[in-house]
Structure 1
Amino acid sequence: MKTFRAIRILIPALVLIACGVDEPLKQPADDISDFTVNSAQSDAVQGDFIYRLISEKEQYTEGEEIKVYAELEYNGAQENIEISHAASPFHFPLSEETRKYVVEYAMNEPLLTTRLTKGEPLHEDYTGSGGYSAEEDEVYIEFVQRIMEKEFPPGYYKINGFANFTATSSAGSATPYEIHAQIDFKVVPEN
């Protein structure tokens, strides 16, 4: 009889605990409506290069695919130019402002080269980001894991993107570039 009573108490307790595991991610720390999206698209120009960072929407619904991408366009005097960079010239570090979380953007760092043709943008879609250590808070780890899978929890996001590369002119001179732009967007809960 004591075993049955313990099970009757234990099962509802386990159900409550299990249902509450994701609770911190269901709602951001602050009300999302307190935040205003300033720019879903941002362009920055440095020398002969235009860097664009774009979110296709200002607001997404939880579970909806987040469509963010970057472009780099050369508009100099040459018909084309060679750039060298890590696995990609594009970096997508982001922050979620209601939770005060920062999600870094790491990538492999081989030295690759890409030839840009004048007026034809190099395009790359954001495919997720993040990393964490075992010492991090479990709620933060779950949040980052969702970002890595592009399953953004509700919140107000800023991407502080940049293009990092070295351009080599036809004369052989090399010029390093790091061009920054920032966009923001919201993810609202499903109804």
Structure 2
Amino acid sequence: MILLKLFLSFLQIGAFSFGGGYAAVPLIQDQVVSIHSWMTMGEFTDLITISQMTPGPIAVNSATFVGLRMAGLPGAVIATLGCILPSCIIVSILAYVYLHFRKLDMIQGVLKSLRPAVIAMIAVAGLDIIISSFWNGAGFTASFSSVNWIAAGIFAAAVILLRKFKQPPIRVMLLCGLLGLIFL
């Protein structure tokens, strides 16, 4: 039964995560944390961190990790297959349609209208992860005393290193991991 749940959950994620890996994060969170309670929010944050650090798409890495955790190697295979199957089918169909109708204004309009929705999905997932990290999974409170200032400082340092100094993401992640090991 768990294999079927894994397959169907990640099939939904694979079918509805338009806009790339970060757009899939709220869908993965909903399935893994909210609906099935396979992970806590803190574990989910760790999952996204690990999925980002390892090669490959976030959704596929998450599917493999969750599947392995819940049902061993068969679970990893089934969850991963569920995650990639919709993409394979949808991309094949869209490639065919796009090649034949790409010059139509309607197609261009649809693609442009999806961008704001994808940005909103990414922003919501990012805010959920920030709240989980800065308030230790307790949820947002207006009290500054409950803020994990070390995590907030590591976040600020990462933003500065990535945006101002244009450091490679892997270097920043390794440095932040080291800072977390030392201070947290």
TM-score by length of 2: 0.25
Whose strand fraction is larger, Structure 1's or Structure 2's? 1
TM-score by length of 1: 0.24
Larger RCO: 1 or 2 (CA < 8 Å, sep 6+):
1
